[in-house]
Amino acid sequence: MESSEIRIKQHPILDFPERRKVRFYWEGKELLGYEGEPVASALHAAGIKVLHKSMKEGRSRGFFCAIGNCSSCLVIVDGVPNVRACTEKLRAGMRVEMQKGVGPALISKE
Ligand code: FES
């Protein structure tokens, strides 16, 4: 993992269990994160703070409540829009993209 990552590695009362490093993609760029951590944490650790653009004005949005209560961190994951990056767990090979506005409509292939 890059030495420039932004992470808390030691804490006086919290433990951080060992997790497997996995590759995933942000806007097509390969990054590394820890399996099972929130997608927003992995992106933040890589220095990526703008996750979403607001619907009306296109303003930058990012990690805000960090508990799934707002819509500031909505991203597109493997083609699925409106995924909350702060509660979605990172998986190997995941493709994450910035969501602009409401995101693309999902069209059923049935
Ligand atoms: S930061 Fe609020 S829902 Fe993710």
User: Residue 61's CB: how many other CB atoms inside 10 A?
Assistant: 20
Nearest to 73 by CA among 58, 61, 91, 88: 61
Q: Is 68 in the pocket of ligand 1 (CB under 6 A)?
A: yes
Q: What is the pLDDT of residues 77-91, one digit of tens each?
A: 999 999 999 999 999
CATH number for the domain formed by residue range(s) 21-99: 3.10.20.440
Structure-block tokens of residue 35: 């399996």
Nearest to 84 by CA among 102, 63, 106: 63
Q: Where are the domains of the chain?
A: 21-99
The residue behind tokens 């979403």 is: 52
Q: What is the pLDDT of residues 44-62, one digit of tens each?
A: 999 999 999 998 899 999 9
The residue behind tokens 């992470």 is: 7
Q: How far is the CA of 110 from the centre of ligand 1 (A)?
A: 32
Q: What is the pLDDT of residues 14-27, one digit of tens each?
A: 998 889 999 999 99
- Which band of pLDDT confidence, cut at 50, 70 and 90, is reported for residue 6? confident
pLDDT at 102: 84
